[in-house]
Structure 1
Amino acid sequence: MRFRCPACNAVRSANERLLGREIKCPECGAPVQLPSASDIEAARVARENEKVRDRELARVRAELGRSLAQTVLVESNDPDRNEKRIASEEKALAAAHTDFTRPKPKQQEDMDMTPMVDVTFLLLIFFMITASFSVQKSIQRPAPSKEEPSQQVIQQEEDADTVTIQVDEYNAYNVLSVVGDRVASSKQDLIIALNDARNGAGSKPPTKIVIEAHENCIHAAVVAALDAGREANFESFEVTTVEQFD
């Protein structure tokens, strides 16, 4: 069989055993896809059908020409018959040119999801950055003012229902309870000391905390003491400011 190279436009021959395979052009070396036997047969059938349609069209045109030559004088005097003749000719020409082959369905392109995925990740990153993952525990309490008169420590009687937390000027904690005194340097140590004070009080654990804050301590240390008391399951709190501890 003979084939034409699409790269160099050279016409060459190939063995029929190579039908349907890809070979290299002997002239330029470009890859050439040879048609398969079914493709050749389909092309041959298409050419035969085209020839049949051409012959049929030529026959119809010849018949129309002869009919027109025979009746042109008669039809010129009959307008209705002339219109019918024109309609029949149009139908014959339309039937000769009608192609009954089924059109190939259009291939639908796949939707590219890459932009949608990018937008989704950008929104996710935005919400992760702007969202608040923790709520700081605090109690609204105005900071102590030096202009106000200081409050002196009132010596309280030993009460088994009360635990006293002293916050010194270095923001360290001293826990006073019926169990004993204990120093805590951080919030976690303070929580442990308060739990020990509750557990060591016997059948009736203390429920109230009195916080004695030094006037030079920071406000955050007092807030941390209140948070520790809540985490240790204390119910009521009292905060006082002192100039010094006895």
Structure 2
Amino acid sequence: MPPKTVDPCVSPSDTVDTECDAVSLNDPCESSCSRSEPPANRTRHRRGAEPDMTPMVDVTFLLLIFFMVTASFSMQKSIAMPRQQSDRASTQPIEDVTLELQTIEVQIDQHGGFLVLATDWQREVIGKQSLVATIKQAAHADPRSTQLIAKVHESAKLQFLVDCLDAASIAEIAKTKVVLNNAAD
């Protein structure tokens, strides 16, 4: 019996159709098919091949150079500080200027009623709009030299306090203070 000859281009895992329609992708040799054109889906893949990083590194350096060239290196503006005249401490005393603020007191009850206490009069109001008008009337001379003290009942809703502070802000009151009233008061 004659020895079998093995074709080095054909391996047992390769599949070659008898009509030359399909050739496996891992065929390292040319097909022995009689067809003159190769199949359209036949491509060779390199296993373990990594993409070339050289173009990516080139682009990175080009971008780095571009941003370095186009960046503006302007100095930040600084505030000129006056220089100290001497090393000795100042001998002039600093006077504490305390302004006498006119005080308006607003008492907020648990039902949303406001009692406005000015220096000369007191008035009970309901609602934010009437509270704004009453605070403006109480601070008629100069609202910026007026402080408002809001005394809130402990079971009053937060919205009533917010309305009072908002009314003081609308009336341009300089300073506001909130005090919590206990139910026993």
Q: TM-score range by the shorter chain?
A: 0.3 to 0.5
Q: Which has the higher contact order (CA 8 A, sep 6+)?
A: 2
Q: Which has the higher helix share?
A: 1
Q: So what's the TM-score if we normalise by structure 1?
A: 0.32
Q: Which one has a bigger Cα radius of gyration?
A: 1
